[in-house]
A and B are shown apart, each in its own frame.
Chain A
């Protein structure tokens, strides 16, 4: 078993365990708080392992998984949204599974030496998409909290659950960060394409479709929020529905079309 295989197994195992621990740690008892702490520890272990794996293999699925990890960790430190890991950990685990089973390391999609401009393009696109995952996680938390507050089911809410304003702010910022990065990714990709330095063996169409879809998703949510003054409840719902549609299109691109977007 080579190093990459070891790291991929360690990462996958860490995020599968994290998913379980964070789901168990949702309740407010001493035992469940211990599960949460162990979950966060495993998340960090998984993040380090996935990052090493991504840097070693340069495979876009691992780069994406690692970007989601770091976006989640940023949300912990900046917005104190540790609980968002309960949503992103299974997504990361699924991405790693895809990387292991469907995107072999022997055929990496971004390992070509494309120069710094292309690297900026790839990094921007991946960071933008990873913030889409985080935004979706925040939306899910927001919708759940909103429902509990409206129904006055306060006993179901853990004491450590983030406040609704904090979730609204975090969602807005996550959407804007994601939009900025995905825009940068699209612009840099377009420029790269226009100067004609894309290797002929690279099929860029799936990536373009996927990136444009994500960009449109961001744009429509931000436009509805900014221009039509959509309330946070509707923004969160749109964010969640949009992300679900994107996920479906992603799987469509993988399995229906003969392309692999990541």
Chain B
């Protein structure tokens, strides 16, 4: 489908929520890495992509677990399915994401969701129920950031606003009313828990954290609770590393130049930077391993794009893990939170239903009022014609009122039945009913 065809779809009524992308369930880290977009890239892409496809609203969420494009598009489901792949490809093309260009052939590794499926997915993402670590809080902030980026790029409209507000309200409801977020859960926590495979007693281990951002901070705080033998923070900006050690009250701060020496000293390395290039390579780890005693070296890379070169896994004394490997650690936690997850899913379903109800009502309200007005006009017009005839000349006021009352009751009943059908229907069915009304009455009853 080309740009002109998509534009022509957008000119049509009605609109459709959509979501297209990939995540930790559908794509391995190597694929997700190639689709990652930085906030600067997203800012640069939004307005251009929305304009190119005449999209009403558009937002991009890119994290270590997903790169998804949310928005509002005109047209039906079937047409949108094809259009969405083009939109996703165009977003990466505009962003200058060359690696993603490799995937611009079939099978394109994305899922395309429209209508209620897209709405439900958005709710799941914002509530972190679609996260690698369900219940983690970081995604809510990332979701808000994605919407704010759309706002500042001028691609955020009333529909995405309402959708994001409803999704965030449901996320808050889940967090407040279930146990899902009570325990410390995040990718950073899972990474530290994975370190327990190195030693069951974390206080005997030397930790090195590369990075001083949010994920690194969460990991460092969690590690500090175990009172490790040593904790070193290495960051591109040494000042930030210093601030983090000051915040923790423990640990040493270093610049990235010290990495070879620090890795040789560490038992567990957790890397969480936003560096676009690898910071740790095989030669560095090989040399570090040779300097060490017979203690194992765990390297846990929770960054995306990754900080540690995948070939480090070939160093026999080093154990390398990335975000995808944390799934088993997370599954262990999920087993303990099964009930909370079920509760959270119930709240999410209820939130989605409320939103769908609002959406249907929003779409059908004008149709209902137009139908009522049409019926009322029809009655007034036909009544005037009818009562002007001679045979009704001798009607008393009471008889006339009784006939008018009967006709109005029938009219109200018909309008009420139409309203009920529209309210019960899904947005798509409501559109069909509206179109049917239009063709039956031949009047401008909007869909």
* Contacts from A to B (Cβ < 8 Å): 80, 145, 149-150, 152, 154-155, 157, 159, 162-166, 168, 225, 229, 231-233, 235
Contact = CB atoms under 8 A, between A and B. Distances in A.
A155 B294 contact: no
B439 interface: no
Interface in B326-344: 327-329, 331-332
The list of the 9 closest CB pairs from A to B, nearest first, reads A154-B328, A165-B199, A155-B328, A163-B200, A149-B319, A152-B325, A163-B199, A164-B296, A232-B294
B331 A155 contact: yes
A154 B296 contact: no
Nearest to A154: B328
B332 A165 contact: no
Nearest to B295: A165
Given A166-B199, A168-B294, A168-B295, 20 more contacts: A152-B320, A152-B321, A154-B194, A154-B325, A155-B328, A155-B331, A157-B197, A157-B328, A162-B200, A163-B196, A163-B197, A163-B198, A163-B199, A164-B319, A165-B198, A165-B204, A165-B296, A166-B200, A231-B294, A231-B317
A154 B320 CA distance: 12
Taking each of B267, B321, B328, which has the highest tally of chain A beta carbons within 10 Å of its own beta carbon? B328
A75 to B, nearest CB: 14
Nearest to B194: A154
A192 B194 CA distance: 53
Contacts of B197: 145, 149, 154, 157, 163-164
A154 B194 CA distance: 9
B317 A233 contact: yes
B218 interface: no
A232 B198 CA distance: 13
B322 to A, nearest CB: 8
A165 B313 CA distance: 18
The interface residues of chain B, by DSSP majority, are classed as mixed
Contacts of B320: 152
A225 B294 CA distance: 9
B295 A80 contact: no
B316 interface: yes
Contacts of A165: 198-199, 204-205, 267, 295-296
A78 to B, nearest CB: 13
Contacts, number: 55
Contacts of B199: 163-166
Nearest to B321: A152
The interface residues of chain A, by DSSP majority, are classed as helix
A150 B296 CA distance: 11
Nearest to A145: B197
Contacts of A149: 197, 319
Given A150-B313, A154-B325, A163-B196, A168 B319 contact: no
A157 B319 CA distance: 15
A165 B204 CA distance: 10
Given A232-B294, A233-B316, A80 B332 contact: no
B201 to A, nearest CB: 8
Interface string B213-248: 000000000000000000000000000000000000
A44 B331 CA distance: 33
20 contacts: A149-B197, A149-B319, A150-B313, A150-B319, A152-B313, A154-B321, A154-B328, A154-B329, A155-B327, A157-B197, A163-B198, A164-B199, A165-B198, A165-B199, A165-B295, A168-B294, A168-B295, A232-B294, A233-B316, A233-B317
A162 B197 CA distance: 7
A166 B197 CA distance: 9
Nearest to A168: B294
B316 A80 contact: no
Interface string B365-397: 000000000000000000000000000000000
Taking each of B196, B197, B316, B332, which has the highest tally of chain A beta carbons within 10 Å of its own beta carbon? B197
A164 B319 CA distance: 11
A179 to B, nearest CB: 17
Contacts of B329: 154
Interface string B282-303: 0000000000001110000000
B25 to A, nearest CB: 15
Interface in B77-103: none
Given A154-B328, A168-B294, A80 B317 contact: no
Contacts of B196: 163
A141 B37 CA distance: 43
B318 to A, nearest CB: 9
Contacts of A229: 294
Contacts of B327: 155
Contacts of B296: 164-165, 168, 232
B229 to A, nearest CB: 12
B198 A164 contact: yes
Contact of A159 (B204, B313, B325, B332): B332
Nearest to B331: A155
A236 to B, nearest CB: 11
Contacts of B325: 152, 154
A57 B197 CA distance: 44
Contacts of B295: 165, 168
A247 B169 CA distance: 67
Interface string B179-223: 000000000000000101111100011000000000000000000
